[in-house]
Every structure is written in C-alpha cells, then in structure tokens.
Amino acid sequence: MSHLASKHSKIESSDLRIHETYRLKYRIGGGGFGDVYLATDVNTNEGVAVKLEHESIDPSLLREEVEVYKSLAGGAGIPTVYWFGRECEYRAMVFELLGPSLEDLFNYCGRDFSLKTVLMIADQLISRLRYIHSKDVIHRDIKPENFLMGTRRNGNCIYVTDLGLAEEYRPTRAPTIAPSDPHLLGTAMFASIAGHMGVEQSRRDDLESLGYILPYFLRGNLPWQKSNAETKEQKYRLMMEMKKSISIDELCGEAPREFGIYMQSIRALQFGDKPYYSYLRKVFKALFVQRRFEYDHVFDWTIKRYMEQEEIQSGE
C-alpha cells in the first residue's frame, strides 16, 4: 500500500491506489472541502473520480457528503458513489466520473449562452432541485461549478455535485434569528440572502441561488460582481445589501420577462413554503415554445465542438 501525500501537499504519483482498485492519475478539481482526482479502475480500466479529505478534518465533511449521496441515490443527475473508506491518512470517496461544469462550458462558449441553452439548463436544474428537496435535502451551495455534465449516453444530463454543505431540511423547523456577526454559507456571488446572513436556509434559498445563475448566463455577469470594497467581509456585505435592494428588472437586465416572473415567485415564498416547481418549469417551457426552439439537447457547447471538429477535418 502506497503512502499518500502529507496534509499540506498535493498527490503527484500516478501509481497510488485507493482500496487496491483505483489508481490515482492527477488532480482535476477541488476546493476548501477536499481535492478531486481522476483515477482508473485497474480491473476494468474505466475512469472514476476520487475525492480525498485529510483525516485531520473533524467532523468529516466527506462522510456527511457520502451519506447525502446515498439518500439521493437513483435520482436523475445524481452521481453514483462506488466506494468510501480510509486510505492511509485520507478518507476517500470514489464516484462516477463526470464531464465539465456549467462554469467551464460557459467560459468555453465565451461567457455567452443563448436563450435556448439557458432555458434547457433551467428546466433540468429546477427538476434536480425538486428531486433533492423531495428527499428533505437542501444543497446550500448552488453555483455553476457544482453542476456537471454527464458522459457518454448521459452526456446531455446535468448532475448535481459537491454536497458537502447540504443538510437535512425540515419544513416545520422555525428559521433562526440572524446573528450579530453573520458568517457566509455558500459561494458569495450566488448565495441567497439567508446564506449571507448565516441563518437557517430552506428550499427557497436553493431556488433563489438558481435565480441568480440564470441571468448570469444570459448577461455574462451579475450587478454585484464589481465592488470597491477593501476587505472580503466588506465585499460580502455589499453583495448582500445589493441582493436585498436590487429590483428584479435590474437583476434580469434585458432577459425575457419570464426570468422576472421566476424571481418574483421565489421572493414571495416564506421559509417553510413548498415551491411551485411545476409552475416554474411551465413558465420557462412556455417561453421555449413561444420562441419556437426545439428541445433537442443541442446546447451552445455542442454546436461549438461540432464546428471546431469540422474545421479540423477541413484542414486535413
């Protein structure tokens, strides 16, 4: 059994194995809650992803994330976890290898998605949130980086990932009072107002974050991205204040009015209210039909890849 890297270093060897079965190759992502590596199953040569968490992290966020994945298993767009356990000084979760994130694809497309692509994304993401909420789970870190495309026959399916901040949601639980020194939970740019305030979140907060993602994809940025704040804390507070005060028209910019209807519906929800997922999907589907789009799963990046391949072939 090989010894993995120390607490403060990245794993570099390509001959390290997890559970005697999965050979690590190289790092493909990660953040504050662990690094993700590409690995191969030595028996089948199939690619998998491995998320590592150092044993010094207590309580284990990765163990909690695995439990959430188990509770959601079987749903569309939920990655399959193959194995979880300890390897030397690390905890490891081996799970389904996925494709690029929506943020990766947004950058690939020049940070400009068409309305058709955004509407197809919206339809899938509302469905994903409806499913995880039906299992009494809220994500609490909804952002483009946490939605990944599938591979092969699931290449058009958007997957929900990075459930390290997810928690059980009980509709009957009363919302907490905002602390005098709020601590941001989630990612500042897309966090809900409650996430900024450090108070109890509910289903509406995941959908509020999605309500920031959709205009972001259409306009390429959000109004609170540029700030003259001197510190991170000041920047986060300014973001929160802008989210509280901004009008829906200013948030959505030149986007069709359906995006404003979505956000109005979310803002009208109380803490324990069940969102009208079907209604929200119908709002966007009506716009889709009105614009005479075809629901063919041909996203902007699909077209760009095809055109690049055509250029390569024509140059040969």
Which residues are tagged catalytic? 141
Radius of gyration of the chain from its Cα atoms, rounded to whole angstroms: 21
Q: Say how far apart CA 192 and CA 56 lie, in whole Å.
A: 30
Q: Say how far apart CA 43 and CA 55 lie, in whole Å.
A: 27
Q: Say how far apart CA 37 and CA 57 lie, in whole Å.
A: 19
Residues contributing to the annotated binding site = 51
From residue 12, give the alpha-carbon distance in Å to each of 70, 102, 209: 30, 27, 36
Residues contributing to the annotated binding site for ATP = 51
Tokens of 261: 């209807």
> Per DSSP, what are the bridge partners of residue 93?
51, 84
Answer whether the bond into residue 215 is a cis peptide, omega within 30°. no
Look-up of token digits 């979880």: 84
Contacts of 216 (CB under 8 A, 6+ apart): 144, 189, 190, 222
DSSP type of residue 37: E
Kindly report the number of other CB atoms within 10 A of residue 41's CB atom.
14
Residue 51 identity (one-letter amino acid): K
Q: Do residues 156 and 165 touch, judged by C-beta distance below 8 A?
A: no
Q: Where are the alpha helices (DSSP H) in the chain?
A: 61-72, 102-108, 115-134, 193-197, 203-219, 232-245, 248-252, 257-267, 277-290, 300-315
Q: Do residues 79 and 95 touch, judged by C-beta distance below 8 A?
A: yes
277-290 helix and 257-267 helix, angle to the nearest 10 degrees? 170
